[in-house]
Amino acid sequence: MSVDLAPSRGSSTFQLQLRRFRQNRLAMASVVVLALIVALCFLGPYAFPFTGEDADFDFISAPAEFQWPHLFGTDDFGRDLLVRVLEGGQVSLTIGFLGALVAGVIGVLYGAVAGYVGGRTDGLMMRLVEILYGFPYVILVILLSLLFGGGTVALFAAIVFTLWLTPAVIVRAQAQSLAQREFVQAARAGGMTGPAIVLQHIVPNCMSTVLVYGSLLVPEVILSESFLSFLGIGIKEPQASWGNLIQAGTAAMDSDLRLLLLPGGLLAVVLLCLNFIADGLRDAFDPNDR
């Protein structure tokens, strides 16, 4: 998300940042691992002669024996676990990144504008955030499913609707103090317009917080998806997602840990990678470190 938000500041700066990021070995390793996982999720299922939704009633709950074709065994409908986890990854990673990106962009811009402009506008904007915070979420979700029919659109709306609020509050808090800083005052005195200041000074200076918070939003999106399917919207069985796979795995935790470990482990690895990448980007883009 950083690349989309970072203002173009000439290629030399960007190249410098890129070089700096490349020097961070942990971050680079994380990029490689993450890319591998994404590739595996999107390409892996083609290697198998079946999809994750094909039930094989002869192989119900087959254990993980690392034998072709059911490498990690099957679930209790006789569907291949590995393929389901990979297909679930397609859905969850897409929703996770897209959801976090959209929520992040909305939140950052909203917060930056509120914090920079201040005064009555800021008050109104933040009171709106409070109202949205306070509105009963379950009812909101039920209404969204009524409006959009319980599909992916409703899911996306339900996720983004609440998740942009916290980044907005945090960024607004930072923007508020940034707005009083010398370089912002100077830019204003120099005739720079409001939107330009917000985009070129406020947002970049909030970037580190946003990056770090954004990397935490991804798992939140992936996991909240499973709660929403409980309310009847979003990814529904038989379609797999990491959220519903992990939930099903938790239910069967005592008898068959493998159902939890495979999707849960992958999610944990993705999160660790994201965490290191976010730190690496943060360091690379740090405006005070130039």
Partner 1 sequence: MLRFIGKRLWQGGLTLAALVTLTFFVMRLAPGGPFSRNRKISPEVQANIEAAFHLDEPVWQQFGRFVWGIMRLDLGPSTRHRDYSVNDLIASGLPYSLTIGFWAVVIASLVGVALGLAGALRRNSATDYVAGTVGVVGIAIPIFVIGPLMQAIFSLRLEWLPVGGINDGWRSLVLPVIVLALPNIAYISRLTRTSMIETLRENYVRTARAKGIGWRRTLWRHTLTGALLPVIAYLGPATAAIITGSILIETIFAVPGIGRHFVDAALNRDYPLVMGITLLYGGILILFNIGTDVIRAILDPRIRNER
Partner 2 sequence: MIGKAGRVTRWLAGAAMAFALATAPALADDTLDRGVGSEWSSLDPQVNFDGSAGFILADAYEGLVTFAPDGKIIPGAAESWEASADGKTYTFRLREGLKWSNGDPLVAQDFVNCVLRTLNPDTISEKGYYFYSTIKIKGAEALANGETKDPSGLGVTAPDDRTVVIEMETPAPHILDLMGYFQMAPLHSPSFDAGGAAVFIDPAKVVSNGAYVIKEVVPQSHVLLERNPNYWDAANVKIPFVKHHVTEDVSTELKRYQAGEIDITYDIPLAEVERLTAETPDEVWIFPSTYLIYYSFNLSHPDLQNIDLRRALTLALDRDVLENKIVKGGATPKLNYAGGFDPDYKGPDIAEASMTQAEREALAKELYAKAGYGPDNPLKLTISTTVAEINMRRAQGAALMWKKVLGAEVEVNGMERKAWLDLFYTDDWSIFADNLIGDFAGPETFLAYMRPSADAGYGWESPGYEAAMNEAAAFPDKAGRYAGLAKAEALLLADYIFSPMSIEPNRHLVKPNVKGFGPSAAGYHNSQWMTLE
* Residue 287 sits in the site that holds partner 2 (CB under 8 A): no
140 counts as binding partner 2 under rule CB under 8 A:
no
Q: What does 139 bind: partner 2, partner 1, none (CB cut-off 5 to 8 Å by kind)?
A: partner 1
Q: Which is nearer to partner 1, 70 or 222 (CB)?
A: 222
- Residues 10 to 69: which contact partner 2 by CB under 8 A? 55, 57, 60
Q: Among residues 71, 252, 269, 271, which is the contact residue for partner 2, using CB under 8 A?
A: 252
**Shortest Å distance, C-beta 136 to partner 1:** 5
Give, in degrees to the nearest 5, the angle at Cα 227 between 74 and 54. Answer: 25
Q: Is 76 in the site for partner 2 (CB under 8 A)?
A: yes
254 binds partner 2 (CB under 8 A): yes
Instruction: Tell me which of 238, 268, 287, 289 binds partner 2, using CB under 8 A.
Output: 238
What is the CA 93 to chain-centroid distance, rounded?
8
Stretch that binds partner 2, among 24-32, 34-42, 176-184, 250-258 (CB under 8 A): 250-258
- Which residues here bind partner 2, judged by CB under 8 A? 55, 57, 60, 76-77, 142, 145-146, 150, 229-232, 236-238, 248, 250-252, 254-255
